[in-house]
């Protein structure tokens, strides 16, 4: 069984874990789970799903989450946008966080960047669409790399069905591991939050 086939099976586990939570958010590239576990403690009525490519990070993060008695967060191992598609049911997420994805600064490596039109199409499918009484799920992107930030914004401009919303929202948001590093260095961070307004892109 491929890792992403395993994730399709893990969906059942995810659905069971999310039962009773009115809001679900996903952190893609969750690393050591700092943002995920701290978000869970700060926002106990929200379930936080982590997807991370390195299995040792997933194992250690889940161990820490269990040791701390946190019941509203868990990580799964998954690689690339396909893992988001495999694990997360459609129209499921209230927010999707992608913080400091690998920037792949050299032009010949840009094709490896996570945030591209194909990723945005999957993200749109996984976020809850605008509906009567619901404003639509939000994609929150952060990077320290100015070129990647421009590319992200260009991709968003080219795709229909997104509208920019204020970065600050109603939830308490801890800083991520990489955000801590760049804030300490005083380096600028690009942040953009966009709401999904269209059921199809
Ligand atoms: C630069 S770190 C940022 C970590 C965290 N989001 C933060 O803000 O501190 C990128 C993380 O994403 C993971 N990652 C990179 N590419 C990935 C991919 N294609 N699929 C899943 N995880 C990925 C890496 O293993 C790493 O933990």
pLDDT tens digit string along 158-184? 887 899 999 999 999 999 999 999 999
Q: Does residue 82 lie within any of the structural domains? A: yes
Q: Does residue 113 lie within any of the structural domains? A: yes
Work out which ligand 1 atom sits closest to the CA atom of 34: 9
pLDDT of residue 199: 56
Whole-model pTM: value is 0.96
Q: Does residue 17 lie within any of the structural domains? A: yes
- Using CA positions, which residue lies closest to atom 22 of ligand 1? 53
Name the residues annotated as catalytic: 102
Work out which ligand 1 atom sits closest to the CA atom of 57: 27
Instruction: For residue 133, report the distance from its CA to the centre of ligand 1, in Å.
Output: 34
Give me the CATH number covering residue 70.
3.40.50.150
- Using CA positions, which residue lies closest to atom 3 of ligand 1? 100
Helix/strand/coil (H/E/C) assignment for every residue in the chain: CCHHHHHHHHHHHHHHHHCCCCEEEEEECCCCCHHHHHHHHHCCCEEEEEEECCHHHHHHHHHHHHHCCCCCEEEEECCHHHHHHHHCCCCCECEEEEECCCCCCCHHHHHHCCCCHHHHHHHHHHECCCECCECCCEEEEEECCHHHHHHHHHHHHHCCCEEEECCCCCCCCCCCHHHHHHHHHCCCCEEEEEEECCCCC
Domain count, the chain: 1
Q: Does residue 109 lie within any of the structural domains? A: yes
pLDDT of residue 36: 98
pLDDT tens per residue, range 106-135: 999 999 999 999 999 999 999 999 988 899
Q: Does residue 201 lie within any of the structural domains? A: no
- Look up residue 27 and give its two tokens: 């952190």
List ligand 1's pocket residues with C-beta within 6 A.
Answer: 29, 31, 52-54, 57, 79-80, 99-100, 102, 114, 176-179
Distance (Å, whole) CA 199 – CA 64:
37
Pocket test for ligand 1, best of 53, 81, 104 (most atoms within 8 A of CB): 53
Q: Does residue 89 lie within any of the structural domains? A: yes
Q: Which domain holds residue 143?
A: 3-196
% of the chain exceeding 90 in pLDDT: 87
- Look up residue 103 and give its two tokens: 């920037």
Instruction: For residue 200, report the distance from its CA to the centre of ligand 1, in Å.
Output: 27
Nearest CA to 6 among 75, 61, 87, 62?
Answer: 87
């Amino acid at each position: 069984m491929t890792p992403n086939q395993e994730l399709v099976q893990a969906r059942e586990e995810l659905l069971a874990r999310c039962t009773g939570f009115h809001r679900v958010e996903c952190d893609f590239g969750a690393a050591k789970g700092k943002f995920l576990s701290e978000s869970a403690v700060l926002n106990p009525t929200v379930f936080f799903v982590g997807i991370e490519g390195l299995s040792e990070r997933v194992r250690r993060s889940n161990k820490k989450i269990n040791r701390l008695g946190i019941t509203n967060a868990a990580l799964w191992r998954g690689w690339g946008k396909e893992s988001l598609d495999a694990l997360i049911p459609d129209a499921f997420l209230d927010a999707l966080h992608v913080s400091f994805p690998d920037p792949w600064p050299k032009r010949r490596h840009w094709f490896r960047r996570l945030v591209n039109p194909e990723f945005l199409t999957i993200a749109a499918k996984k976020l809850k669409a605008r509906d009567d009484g619901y404003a639509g799920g939000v994609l929150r992107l952060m990077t320290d790399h100015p070129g990647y930030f421009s590319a992200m914004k260009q991709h968003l401009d080219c795709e229909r069905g997104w509208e920019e919303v204020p970065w600050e929202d109603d939830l308490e948001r801890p800083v991520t591991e990489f955000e801590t590093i760049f804030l300490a260095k005083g380096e600028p961070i690009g942040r953009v939050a966009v709401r999904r307004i269209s059921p199809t892109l």
